[in-house]
Chains A and B, each alone.
Chain A
Amino acid sequence: MTTVEKIRFERVTKSFAVRDANKKGVSNEYTAVQDLSFTVREGEFITLVGPSGCGKSTLLDLTGGLTTPTRGRILIDGKEIAGPGLDRGIVFQQYALFPWKTARGNIEFGLEAKGIPKREWKEKANYYLNLVGLSQFADRYPHELSGGMKQRIAIARSLAFNPDVLLMDEPYAALDAQTRESLQSELLRIWKQTKKTIIFITHSIDEAIYLGERVVVLTGGPGQVKEIVDVPLKSRDADVRSHPDFVKIRQKVWNLLHEPEYIGANI
């Protein structure tokens, strides 16, 4: 395994001004994430799990360069993030496909953004359509595709402009359990094939452990790293979820996520 550092979060803090619910015209500062520090290795599949409101999506916006941290910094390959860039591809929970473009058109949008010559679009789009198993659906519009298919196309679109890092924001949260599982193993296959660094945000403990080499456990209000859990699983077959090692890790992550409640309950 390579141990080259790809992304470094250095005491990242992000606060917003939010309206006060009780006093009109007064705005309070809300801190979404506070003093967040961890590193991601090159080619690593890292998952972030945490309760809602722990700033998962804020963290992803920051990494995507869509917002800037209030304090601290995020480095990619040693350089501070200056804005959005095609070295990172984002996959959103709600797919964010352009409804007026076909599956192929959506993939080509990313190719065009990257500045790839038009004559190469077809071949590249075909390659990634094939990678996600949707070659026959190239000319369908998003509304003609199922949720799982849409997310596959969104993944293909992000992969097509060949980013180093894939940022995924609860990409499977809106899908049914069966589709979710098949897309999870598909993602692992794609990850092995393309050797991307993947940051995958989820609220599902099972998903985080199944996909991640390491699981970053976040706690809420404001979001902080609770612990980073290694996932030393040997195989990632579908039935790994019932393996004793898997169950042990799940228990550990669950406890980490629920610790604050015990403290509150004075157990």
Chain B
Amino acid sequence: METVKSVDLSINNKKLKNIGFSGLQKLFKQSIVLIALFLLWEIAPRIGLVDEAFFPRFLNVLIAWWEMVKSGELFAHFSASITRSIFGFGLALLIAIPLGLLIGWYPLARDLLNPVLELFRNTAPLALLPVFMLFLGIDETSKISIILFACTWPILLNTIAAVGSVDPLLIKSARSMNISSFKLFYKVILPASVPTMFTGIRMAGSSAILILIAAEMVGAKEGLGYLITYSQYNFMIPEMYAGILTISVLGLFINYGLLSLEKRLSRWKQDPTL
């Protein structure tokens, strides 16, 4: 009893310390290079290291960004982009996860479909963009569809792999308790698959942004991809960089959101850093 208590205390202490001093240290470590990079960006055009016409100072980019925020222009593009990616990504989740679980559960379906799925996954979605536009025009449908298409494969293939790699001993153990196939699926296969499934979901998250921007650059009337090409055509270079920065931040947020969701859902996994 006594030893157990002291173990618990030491864990708590460690946690506290992490949040305090080493938390600050971590923040410093993570931001120092980034700050240096922004400084370089500011200084390089000033001292003529790069042509300011093509590479404006960081502060000018920020000012352009702020102007676009104030006028509401940026928000319009941003919300157009985020709506497309959320719809495409969300639909992909809704389709690919149940389908992947189903295919993974039936070995025959897995063996039959895997070659086709591999072929589709290895077809660059952007190569199909003209096809999508031919059929669906240049409005929202074609863009959401191509994001849906691009996101489906990594989620689907990883879900299939996840189901296939559930520890057979766990299945055996659950089966020995005489539980129904449905319960086995819902209570064992599904939770055991979450970590591998999430690898696919995060891959899909990053390809959603990539495909979105490309599709918007090719054919759209709003959106961050459109903003970038439009600014470049009209030689509004600070605005162009502001658009690029916004996309980076958007990507960061999506990845961070997915990561923290993953952490929540796989709390039970051993932290590899421990």
A-B contact pairs, 10 of them (CB 8 A): A84-B175, A84-B176, A86-B177, A92-B172, A96-B169, A96-B173, A109-B187, A113-B177, A137-B4, A142-B268
Given contacts A92-B169, A100-B268, A161-B177, 4 further A-B contacts (CB under 8 A): A100-B194, A110-B177, A114-B177, A143-B268
CB-based contact A143/B4 at 8 Å? no
B270 close to chain A: CB less than 8 A: yes
CB-based contact B268/A64 at 8 Å? no
Residue of A nearest to B179 (CB): A113
CB-based contact A94/B169 at 8 Å? yes
CB-based contact B270/A143 at 8 Å? yes
Partner of B176, one of A88, A94, A99, A142: A88
A232 close to chain B: CB less than 8 A: no
Chain B positions 172-188 with a Cβ under 8 Å from a chain A Cβ: 172-179, 183, 187-188
Partner of A100, one of B1, B175, B192: B192
Report how many residues on chain B are interfacial, defined by Cβ distance under 8 Å: 23
Chain A positions 56-79 with a Cβ under 8 Å from a chain B Cβ: 64-66
B17 close to chain A: CB less than 8 A: no
Chain B positions 154-191 with a Cβ under 8 Å from a chain A Cβ: 169-170, 172-179, 183, 187-188, 191
Residue of B nearest to A83 (CB): B178
CB-based contact B170/A96 at 8 Å? yes
CB-based contact A136/B173 at 8 Å? no
List residues of chain A with CB within 8 A of the CB of B179: 113
Q: Bound state CA distance, A114 and B191, in angstroms?
A: 20
Q: How far is the CB of B87 from chain A (nearest CB, A)?
A: 31
CB-based contact B176/A66 at 8 Å? yes
Chain B positions 248-274 with a Cβ under 8 Å from a chain A Cβ: 266-270
Q: Bound state CA distance, A101 and B267, in angstroms?
A: 10
Q: How far is the CB of A198 from chain B (nearest CB, A)?
A: 16
Q: Bound state CA distance, A94 and B177, in angstroms?
A: 17
Q: How far is the CB of A253 from chain B (nearest CB, A)?
A: 29
**Are A92 and B173 CB-contacts (below 8 A) given A98-B191, A99-B269?**
yes
Interface centre among B4, B173, B179, B266 (most CB of A within 10 A): B173
Residue interface bits B116-157, CB-to-A below 8 A is 1, else 0: 000000000000000000000000000000000000000000
A191 close to chain B: CB less than 8 A: no
CB-based contact A98/B170 at 8 Å? yes
Chain A positions 87-103 with a Cβ under 8 Å from a chain B Cβ: 88-90, 92, 94, 96, 98-102
Q: How far is the CB of A233 from chain B (nearest CB, A)?
A: 31
Query: CB within 8 Å of B: which residues of A?
Result: 64-66, 83-86, 88-90, 92, 94, 96, 98-102, 109-110, 113-114, 136-137, 141-143, 161
List residues of chain A with CB within 8 A of the CB of B173: 90, 92, 96
Partner of B268, one of A83, A88, A99, A161: A99
Interface centre among A85, A92, A96 (most CB of B within 10 A): A96
Q: Bound state CA distance, A114 and B175, in angstroms?
A: 12
Residue interface bits B187-211, CB-to-A below 8 A is 1, else 0: 1100110100000000000000000
Q: How far is the CB of A207 from chain B (nearest CB, A)?
A: 22
CB-based contact B268/A136 at 8 Å? no
**Are A136 and B178 CB-contacts (below 8 A) given A98-B188, A98-B191, A100-B268?**
no
Interchain residue pairs A-B with the least CB separation, the first 4: A96-B173, A113-B177, A100-B268, A143-B270
CB-based contact A113/B178 at 8 Å? yes
Partner of A66, one of B1, B170, B172: B172
Residue of B nearest to A110 (CB): B177
Q: Bound state CA distance, A143 and B267, in angstroms?
A: 11
CB-based contact B176/A64 at 8 Å? yes
CB-based contact A85/B178 at 8 Å? yes
Residue of B nearest to A98 (CB): B170
Interface centre among A98, A114, A143 (most CB of B within 10 A): A98
